[in-house]
Structure formats: structure tokens, C-alpha cells
Amino acid sequence: MYGLNLDWEIEPGPRTCTLEDYKGAEARWCPGCGDHAVLNAVHRLARDERWPTERTVVVSGIGCSSRFPHYMSTYGFHGLHGRALPVACGIRSRRPDLDVIVITGDGDCCAIGTAHWIHAIRYNMNLTVLLLDNNIYGLTKSQTSPTTRFGEKSNTHPKGSFFASLNPISVTLGIPNASFVAQTIDWNPPHLYATIKAAHRHQGTSFVRILQRCPHFTPHVFAPAQQDLNQVLLMTHAEGIQLEEPARKLFPNCVEHDPRDLAAARRLADREDVYPVGLFYRKEGALRYDEHTATGIDFTPQQKLDALNRILDRFRI
């Protein structure tokens, strides 16, 4: 109050958040689409972790999953096909105060966006990257994607794909400076939530492949594993994805895997008899490019002009 000499002030209490704080437009994916499960997990995590909506941005490319930013009540950027990662890297470079979440699909990331994917992993900026992989181009109505299995029929390969499918986990583990590589499934909410939570808390680029059902074009692909969790291999370790005991007991097939062991991670990623889920690899302290690109953010306009002139003077003839 004016005129009073007060030596105290009221400290604001913790932020109160609800699911409604993070829900955007009504999701328009097909009934039964795994994208709904991922969206629900992100909404719940945002509420539980109290993400500031004014400092959160969701970036996507093109595809069914890439409608994600419309369904979040945060900042969002619905970009071009395959270009989600360079947009996210650009945002992270000049706005390190923002929490950047990237949503991409198997076609968006692993086909037209392949070069950006490789270099984004290598740059290791502080991004949470969720790859929603349903093994098909869904938005454009059933074309073979890079992760479509050999022999699977589509509108572009009516007699069956004649290429071996690309394994996004194996590829990512082969990129220098990768720092967090995980895999989960959309039909197990506890593991899905725990994996995204661990990825979001990681400092660096966290890459999470989510095996995601498409009930319209590839309903048969993950159906056997959905009906029989013996086909899913849960990776467990004190440094891995943590599940509460009731959720862990849902997985009859488990293996102890140290996520610091890159060679073992690669062997697990290459297995074709089961779907390994959990944390394949984590490298704390890996170099982060965004810690260098932030240089000069606090410059005044005059300082920026002086820096530009110094660079131009180097090319004076």
C-alpha cells in the first residue's frame, strides 16, 4: 500500500493446473487411433508437471499425428512436410526459455525429413521428439512409408512392399551424439506416460518412437502384440523407465538392460521376434548445440550491429 513501509510480501502459491488448461480443439482422429492415447498422455503430463502454457510450444510437420498442435492449448507451429525438426531447432536456438515438443510421424520424419532427423539427433538440442509410427501414410490414404513391413500392401504397392522396413531406433542409435532413445506403445497408458515423462525431463534431444495403431489402414500390424503382451519385451533398469509394480506386472516378458550400454541397446533394437519397449540408451552430458547458439541473445540492437559489421569487415577488399 502507498505510504506504508512494509518489509514483507506475499509469496505466490504453486500453480494450479487442470487438464482443461492444456486441451485445445477437439481431436478429429479416427475412433480407435493411437494418436488419442498419446494426446491424453501429454495432456496428463502437462497437468501433472504444471507446464506453463505461455512457455510451451508444440511443433509438427504434416500427417495425421501432426495435427497435434491444434489439440494443445499452448503455442504451436504446424509446419511443412518433414520440416518439424529444423523449425524446432530454430525456436530452441533463439528462444531457449521455451519448452519445445516435436510431434512427427514415420513418413514425416523418416522419409522427407530424414536429413533433418539425423542432424537434429546429432545437435542434441533440448527437445522432446515423439515419433508416432503406424507403418503407413495415413493422412494421404495408405501409401507405403519407410517403416512399412516387407510384403505389406498399400495403394503405392498393391502387391506388397518390396523393401525391408527402416528401424527408427536402430538408425537413431547409430547417430553420433544421440543422448536419449526410447520406445513405447500406445496401448499401455502407464508405460506411454512414464516414457514421455522421462523423455521430457531429459536435458538434450530425447527421441521416443511410439508404436501407434492405425485402425483404418493397418489395424492388423500391432493387433497381435496388443492382444498378447508376451510379444512385447519390457526393458527394466534402475536408470531406465520407471513403472509402478502393478503396471510392471502387466508385462510377462522382461529383460534387464543398462541404458548406458550402447552395444547392448543396438542388439535389442535389432530384435524382430519381440517389440522391445523402454529406454534403449541415455548419455548424460552429451554436447548440446543450443548452448552455443544462444550466444548474443541478450545483445542490444547496437551490439548486434557492431557484431555484424565486424564480420563484414573480415571480407573487406
The pLDDT, as a whole number, for residue 35 is: 98
CA 136 to chain centre: 18
Task: Name residue 8's beta-bridge partners.
Answer: none
Q: Are 45 and 62 in contact (CB under 8 A)?
A: no
The pLDDT, as a whole number, for residue 148 is: 95
Kindly report, residue by residue over 30-54, the tens digit of the pLDDT: 999 999 999 999 999 999 999 999 9
Q: How far apart are CA 85 and CA 60, in angstroms?
A: 8
Residue 248 has pLDDT above 90, yes or no: yes
What does DSSP say about strands 275-282 and 180-185: parallel, antiparallel, or unpaired?
A: antiparallel
Q: How far apart are CA 127 and CA 56, in angstroms?
A: 11
Kindly report, residue by residue over 3-33, the tens digit of the pLDDT: 555 555 666 667 789 999 999 999 999 999 9
- The DSSP 8-state label assigned to residue 142 in this structure reads S
Q: Are 180 and 205 in contact (CB under 8 A)?
A: yes
pTM recorded for the entire structure: 0.92
| Total number of residues shown for the chain | 317
The pLDDT, as a whole number, for residue 316 is: 83
Mapping DSSP to helix (H, G, I), strand (E, B) and coil, where does residue 110 land? helix
Kindly report, residue by residue over 186-211, the tens digit of the pLDDT: 999 999 999 999 999 999 999 999 99
The pLDDT, as a whole number, for residue 10 is: 62
- Other residues' Cβ atoms within 10 Å of the Cβ of residue 206: 25
Q: How far apart are CA 164 and CA 15, in angstroms?
A: 49
- From 62, 99, 55, 107, select the one nearest 83 (Cα to Cα): 62
The domain 19-290 having CATH identifier 3.40.50.970: the answer here is yes
Joined together, the cell numbers standing for residue 83 give 520440416
The pLDDT, as a whole number, for residue 295 is: 80
CA angle at 242 for the pair 236 and 245, rounded to the nearest 5°: 85
Q: How far apart are CA 38 and CA 46, in angstroms?
A: 12
The H or E element spanning position 65 is none
Mapping DSSP to helix (H, G, I), strand (E, B) and coil, where does residue 165 land? coil
Half-sphere exposure of 8 (CA within 13 A, CB side): 2
Strand ranges across the sheet with 99-105: 75-78, 56-60, 99-105, 127-133, 206-211, 180-185, 275-282, 232-236, 254-256
